[in-house]
Amino acid sequence: MHTAIKYLFIVSLLFSTAACTTGPANGSVSAAEGDQVLLADSDGRLLLLNIANGHKRVLSQPGIYRPADSIGPVHLWAPIRLSPDGQWLAVPQLDSQGTWLINLDGATQIKLCSGAVNLIWSPDNRQIAFYDPNSASPETLYLQDMIGEEGARPLARLNGKILALAWSPINPQIAAAYSLDPTQAQIALRPWEGLMEIALINVSSGEIEKLAQAPAASTEATAWDLAWSPDGREVWHLKERISLPVDTSPPRPLAAEPLSQWLTVETGEADPVLSPDGSRVAWVVVNDAQSGASLWLADIQHPETRTVIVEGLGPVAQLSWTQSGQAIVAAGVQDALAPVWRITPATGEATRLVDNVYFVGSLWDLQYRSTNIAVGVSLRPLPVPDIATSWLTWTADGLGFSFEYPPGWKIWDSSQMITLSSVVFERLGGWASLSPEDLLITFSKIYVSSQDEWLNENVRSIGGRLQDMVIAGRVGLCWRQNTQAIREDCFVPLEGNAILVIHKYPADSLYDEVFRRIITSLQF
């Protein structure tokens, strides 16, 4: 079946899971100007809302995007993707009945596939790659040219169900993460961990180059877990915090200065969000059911300037800055109908823009996330410590211990975790891979029913390299992978069936002697 479509150099054909239709020519439609957010109404129609004037434009027919119809968290493993030129939405239907291509003027809507596929755009808009997680072959990666009349073709068949894709910003390569049976593990796995492999697929030949295996702590993998570094030289798995150089270098740990530790407050359900220029952070504090939520704002360079800019909001689970940085959009949970608010940070004015909608996201944020290119950050090294001199002492009252640390090093202390670092992240919220010249240590506590049983099941019996270490009169265990080790873990039994968990990044660091002095200085 062939259908001519105005404004597009495309034809529609082969509506099947493995054969998507062709798509838009690059630069064919201009998006509307201004700060806009993508919503869906209760009938499943996608809407584009201009938050400056409240104008809504209907983009699709009913039933296209209705989270109430979803089977599981479809928006996480098959999300809406905005094309690199900002003109086209690729929309997996949440009841898994199709995937649609919709332009932002609302004039064109094409059914690409009969299933809800996870797809990514090429940086030049000319191709998409996709897989169908609900099909009989979720391990098959397809490639579709978006100009011309040819249908999708299989590009590569991987060794397991595909979990996430990311297209290289500089080379004709696609990074793929896919699940493996744990019996194929070349690394040690804990009882709760699954196994995944990360590989590169050549877009021209379909050739597969395996990079590394890694634990998969959760079966609820999302499409945003896999990303490229901004320079295209490393593949990053954000959830598992692993950096894989595309050359022959070994894997590295991936780190970021967390917003939650910077805030050191209970932020409620909505994640803290940075302004587009990285200078301000906004977060929600839930007071109580009667008074609702309050929105807080702080300057990154002056955290003591935290102020409440609006109070009495209803349930807020999502925050998003506008591209201009002049407003913040607040909304409810992604799978429930709720109002959407515009908050002006400069004045504290809160305007209720619309009721009973699903909030998908701001267009500028959606466009950036759709590239699967992570925010990178530079690292500034702190002074090299002198082992022979006196150090400072940090007392963690919330966790019940103290330790010595080198003067000048950075500490983040929250109620749940302490992080000690030999480097400063030049931007909050950005990612960087750690080299052997760096050291980052985290301290946290867990509580178990039996320390011996937990340590036997999760440390002693899983393989890897084990070493006993006496810390403040207690016999602890330090563990690491035999191969591809990106961190070292130490476990110290405490009173009341508590275990102190220490993570050291990277596993092999030029600061190994410094690390030993830090952990042997622990006092409880």
Strands (E), 440-481: 440-447, 465-471, 474-480
pLDDT at 9: 33
> Is the omega angle on the peptide bond into residue 138 within 30 degrees of 0, that is, cis?
no
pLDDT at 17: 37
Assess contact for 197 and 177: CB atoms under 8 A: yes
Q: Enter the DSSP assignment of 7.
A: T
Q: Enter the DSSP assignment of 183.
A: G
Alpha-carbon distance of 360 to 133, in angstroms, equals 21
Assess contact for 376 and 430: CB atoms under 8 A: yes
Give the number of other CB atoms < 10 A from CB of residue 274: 19
Q: What is the mean pLDDT of each run of 10 residues along the chain (524 residues)?
A: 30 37 38 74 93 90 81 68 92 83 86 85 94 84 85 92 94 95 90 92 96 79 89 95 93 85 57 86 75 82 82 84 91 84 92 92 89 94 94 93 96 87 90 97 96 93 91 92 92 94 96 95 94
Alpha-carbon distance of 11 to 25, in angstroms, equals 11
Annotate 385-416 with DSSP letters as a single string. P-TTS--EEEEETTTTEEEEE-TT-EEEE-SS
Contacts of 347 (CB under 8 A, 6+ apart): none
Based on the number of CB atoms within 10 Å of its own CB, is 34 exposed (0-12), middle (13-18) or buried (19 or more)?
Answer: middle
Q: What is the pTM of this model?
A: 0.88
Alpha-carbon distance of 257 to 261, in angstroms, equals 8
Assess contact for 367 and 86: CB atoms under 8 A: yes
Q: Enter the DSSP assignment of 105.
A: T
pLDDT at 31: 40
pLDDT at 288: 63
Q: Looking at 379-511, list the stretches that DSSP marks H as alpha helix, in order from N- to C-terminal side.
A: 451-455
pLDDT at 316: 83
For 113, 133, 208, the CA distances from 20, given in Å and listed in that order, are 5, 15, 23
